Each structure stands twice: as structure tokens, then as C-alpha cells.
Amino acid sequence: MSEKRSLWGSKVGFLLAAIGSAVGLGNIWRFSYMAYENGGGAFLIPYLTALLCTGLPLMILEYALGHREKASPPLAFARIHHLWEPLGWWMPVVAFSGITFFYTVIISWCMNYFCLSFNLGWGADTQAFFFNRFLRVSDSPFVLGGIRWPILAGTVLTWLICWSICYRDVRHGIEKASTIFMPLLVVLTLILVGWSLRLDGALDAVKEYYLKADLSKISLFTAAGRKVWVAAFGQIFFTLSLGFGIMITYASYLPKKTDITGNALVTCFLNCLYSVIAGFAVFGTIGFMAKAKGVPFEEAITGGPGLAFVVYPEAINQLPLLNHIFGVLFFLVLIVAGISSMISLIEAFSCSVCDKFSISRKKASSVICGIGLFGSILFTTRAGLLILDIVDHFINNYALILGGIVECVVVGWLLKSQVMRRHVNKSGGLRLLPLWDISVRFITPGILFIIVSGALLGDFSAAYGNYPVNALLLYGGGVLFFTWLTAFVLSHFPWKSEKLKVKHDPDKSLF
């Protein structure tokens, strides 16, 4: 028996959920390191350009598609044409099996480090502790080396928390959780920023390495400068949760009259603002650590998980007072940011399953979270970090980007961007100008094509991460093949005929 489609209880609830999906661990450790590598304050120029040229147009597209069809991604694309249903499945399948399987494990790392913060249990050598004692990383991605039980315990807890939220209807589950998590995340982050900037050496590091603009790094006349622009566009695409099917799903719960363009603007702006604000905490803390140890800032900073689990604990060790509280605060921020993103990744797939098979969200969420927990076990092994790195590379550089390109082609050219723009303008709020059509049909897919081409050239010129080629094919190529095969199989189950029929208002006005 199919359930009546839920609606958000308020606009604020929807925005908090959408922003919670977009704001994740990458906002904290990926953006800051990219800014450092790519000209400091100058990086904001290509970053904001990417937001306007790619992020915002694609966010509007996904909001509009979900709102117009009142459906999950598979059903929305099936209504455009049945041949495009596999694309609608691929997006949430990638989000679920390609991302959540390892994302829960990273949240588990944060939970373990949250507990370690109370007695600074990582010791003096934080790098050796993280890689050799906590993860006990294998020498090869083929040597699993057994399960790390503390990591598995945190992974189980993460899946239980996410299940308890997604089990309920949207208004009482995800919306209610978001109204708690997001204000909490903002308050904790602001406390962390304020505390960090008061540390000795923090302001100097912020001024020199974060705010100071090195415009030579973003010159379009050099190969290195062009790479920075490509990196900025890639970061915008990843940070806004585009290509997962999440925003299509969330928009399907919006009421008939809603400000699609305005909601997209708010989501994009606040997500990027959070990244910029969090950067002050990162640069301030690392600046303090560099000064305390008497080493150059360049030697202190690193990107990715190493920033959170090696550099930050080392900085916490250097604090003269209240080390434990600072550590608890930092890892609590990561946990909240991670879970707010996780529930959206689960919801995209859960909603798709409910639409296709007409089962309750309670049953769908329970089965999906059970499968997810089983799939996460691989990443709790000693080879987990290596496999995670490979899978993350292939998902981010190929699966999501290719999905975004095809999404633009289907909506921009087959459905016709004018049809979608009509719907947006008819729904109320800020009006969408014809410039959006140009962006969706030409600019956005063109830029995404450049990004994926660059990734292909890079992987063909040298094996990613110096991993064995057979490991890249097994884990990286394997996850791409598995997600596409799953999407293809799911798309061949029949829909109930009434679900494919939807009545759209015949309004022809474009302006």
C-alpha cells in the first residue's frame, strides 16, 4: 500500500535539511586545503564564479525537477522518457552504495576520536597513532587484515542513528533532526572559530595564508592557473550534494507554491559561507600549532583525513589549557556535519525504493540501513582507508560528474529548459531568467565535461595514488560497474501505470 507523499512542515525546515545535506566533512577539511594550495583569498574568485556558473544553475535544475514531478529521481526521469530511468536510479545508488558505505566509517573515526579527546588518547605522535595503531593500515588494498572493532562499533552506531531518523516521515524525521543538528553545528563552529582565532599565531596564519590573495595562482594564461579553476568548479559540484539525487528528492516534498530560485540561492550561499567560516578555524588552529612547534606553516598543513585526525590532534596537544574541551568540540562538529549529510544520502535511495515498489518508508529505511551496515564492513578492515581512497576518487571524478552532464542534457535538451523555467516561474518567488537556459544547456555540461576529461587524462598518464592497476580496476572500476548494473536492473522492474501519469498545468508563459 503506497503512502501519501509527505511535505515539509516549513520552508525553514526544508532549507535546514538541504543545507545540512550540502554541509559535510569536505566543507571543513577539503575547502580549506584547496584555498591554501590555490592562492588563498584569490581562490574565492574561481570558487564564486563556479558557484554562479555551475552550482546555482544545477541546484535550480534539481529543485525544479523534483518539485515539478513530485517524485524521486527514477520516477522523475522515467516520466521524461523511460530510457532515462537508469540515470534516475544511478544517482541515488551511487549516493548509497558508493558514498554511505565509507562515509559512515569516517563518521565512526570521528566518534572514536571524540571519545579519545577526553584523555588525549592519541598520544604525542598523532600520525603514528592514526595510521599504525588506530587504523593499522595494511600494506595493500588486497590485504584486508581483519576488522578494526572500535571502528565497526562506531559504524553500527552511525547507521542506528541514521535509521532512527530516516525511519520516520520527512517532517518528524529528517526535518526535526535538521532543526536540531544545523543550529547546533553553526553554534559549535562559531565557538571553534572564536577559540581558534584567539590562539597565539592564529591571526598571522589567517592573514598570510587564508585571506592574502595570490592572483598569480589563478591566472588563466598558465596551465597551473587553469587547473585551479577546474578544481574550483569540481569543489562546488561536490560540496553542494549535486548529482546524488538528494536535492531532487528533497524538492519533491515541497508544497505547490514555493520559491525554487530563492531556495536554491539560500542553499548555495549558506553552504559556501559555512566553508569560508570554517576555514578560519582550520587556518587559525594550524597557525597556532606551527608557531608552537617552531615549524613553517607549509609543513604543518595537510589535506583530507590527515588534517582532522593527525594535524588537529597534534594542535590540540599544543594547547596550554582546556585541550580536552577543544578536542571534544572539534570532533562533535565533524560528527554533526557528517550525520546531517548521511541522512540525505539514505533518503534519496529510500524515497526511490518507496516510489518504485510502493512500500512504506519504515520498511525501506530498515532494509536499506541493514544493507548499508553490511556494505560498510569492508571499510572497517585494515585495508579500509586504501579502498576508501580509491572508491572516493572514482565516484567523485566520474560517477557524479557524468551523472551531472547527462542530467543537464536530459532536462536542458530533451525535456527543454524552457519547460522547466516556466514551472519555476509559475511556482512563485524569484523569477528565473533565460540566461539559466544557456547555462544548463551549454555552460554547466561543458565545464563538467572538461573536469571529467582532465580526470581521465590524469588517470591514464599515471595510476592514481600509485595503487596497483588491478586494485583501481577492482575497487574503482568495480564500484562504477556495480552501481550502473544495479541502476539498470532496478529500472527494469515495472511501475504502477498511474505513477507514470502526471498532470502538469498548461501555462505557456515564459516571463
27-56 pLDDT tens trace: 988 899 889 988 899 999 999 999 999 999
Q: State the Cα–Cα distance between residues 236 and 231, nearest whole angstrom.
A: 9
Mean pLDDT value across residues 486-498: 91
- Residue 7 maps to a domain: no
Q: State the Cα–Cα distance between residues 397 and 214, nearest whole angstrom.
A: 27
- Residue 140's CATH number: 1.20.1740.10
* Terminal alpha carbon distance of the chain: 41
Cα–Cα distances in Å, from 304 out to 301, 372, 392, 406? 10, 23, 12, 29
CA angle 120, 122, 128 (to 5 degrees): 155
Is 507's pLDDT higher than 50? Answer: no
- Residue 511 maps to a domain: no
Cα–Cα distances in Å, from 372 out to 106, 132, 162, 164? 14, 27, 11, 14
- Residue 353 maps to a domain: yes
Nearest of 75, 78, 69 to residue 357 by alpha carbon? 75
- Residues 365 and 185 sit within 8 Å (Cβ to Cβ): no
Nearest of 408, 346, 501 to residue 65 by alpha carbon? 408
Q: So what's the pLDDT on residue 3?
A: 57
Q: So what's the pLDDT on residue 125?
A: 95
Q: So what's the pLDDT on residue 506?
A: 52
Each residue's pLDDT tens digit, 309-348:
999 999 999 998 899 999 999 999 999 999 999 999 999 9
Identify residue 118 by its one-letter amino acid code. F
C-alpha cell at 128: 603514528
277 Cβ contact list (under 8 Å, min separation 6): 189, 190, 193
- Residue 505 maps to a domain: no
Q: Is residue 288 helix, strand or coil? A: helix
Q: State the Cα–Cα distance between residues 225 and 216, nearest whole angstrom.
A: 7
pTM: 0.94
Is 158's pLDDT higher than 80? Answer: yes
Each residue's pLDDT tens digit, 367-418:
999 999 999 999 999 999 999 999 999 998 899 889 999 999 999 999 999 9
Instruction: Count how many domains the chain has.
Output: 1
Each residue's pLDDT tens digit, 107-146:
999 999 999 999 999 999 999 999 999 999 999 999 999 9
- Residue 244 maps to a domain: yes
92 Cβ contact list (under 8 Å, min separation 6): 72, 73, 74, 244, 245, 249, 348, 349, 351, 352
Q: State the Cα–Cα distance between residues 72 and 88, nearest whole angstrom.
A: 8
CA angle 473, 475, 476 (to 5 degrees): 65
Q: How confident is the model at residue 511 (pLDDT cuts 50, 70, 90)?
A: very low
HSE on the CB side for 325, CA within 13 Å?
8
Nearest of 172, 186, 147, 133 to residue 23 by alpha carbon? 186
Each residue's pLDDT tens digit, 192-246:
999 999 999 999 999 999 999 999 999 988 888 888 898 888 888 888 999 999 9
Q: So what's the pLDDT on residue 502?
A: 66
DSSP class of residue 492 equals T
What counts of helices (H) and strands (E) characterise the chain? 27, 0
- Residue 5 maps to a domain: no
Nearest of 338, 348, 396 to residue 159 by alpha carbon? 338
Cα–Cα distances in Å, from 423 out to 64, 187, 196? 7, 37, 46
C-alpha cell at 339: 550525520
Residue with cell 498548461: 506
- Residue 507 maps to a domain: no
C-alpha cell at 348: 534519496
- For 94-113, give the DSSP string: IIIIIIIHHHHHHHHHHHHH
Q: State the Cα–Cα distance between residues 287 and 296, nearest whole angstrom.
A: 9
Is 2's pLDDT higher than 50? Answer: no
Q: So what's the pLDDT on residue 330?
A: 96
Residue with cell 590573495: 213
Each residue's pLDDT tens digit, 434-478:
999 999 999 999 999 998 898 898 888 899 999 999 999 999 999
DSSP class of residue 381 equals B
Identify residue 96 by its one-letter amino acid code. F
Q: State the Cα–Cα distance between residues 379 and 354, nearest whole angstrom.
A: 28
Q: So what's the pLDDT on residue 504?
A: 64
Chain centroid to CA 206: 26
Is 509's pLDDT higher than 60? Answer: no
Q: What is the domain range of residue 108?
A: 12-498
**In 117-173, where does DSSP find H-type helix?**
126-128, 149-166
- Residue 90 maps to a domain: yes
C-alpha cell at 450: 572538461
Q: Is residue 409 helix, strand or coil? A: helix
Q: State the Cα–Cα distance between residues 130 and 491, nearest whole angstrom.
A: 42
152 Cβ contact list (under 8 Å, min separation 6): 108, 377, 380
C-alpha cell at 215: 592572483
DSSP class of residue 40 equals B
C-alpha cell at 502: 502526471
Q: State the Cα–Cα distance between residues 501 and 368, nearest whole angstrom.
A: 27
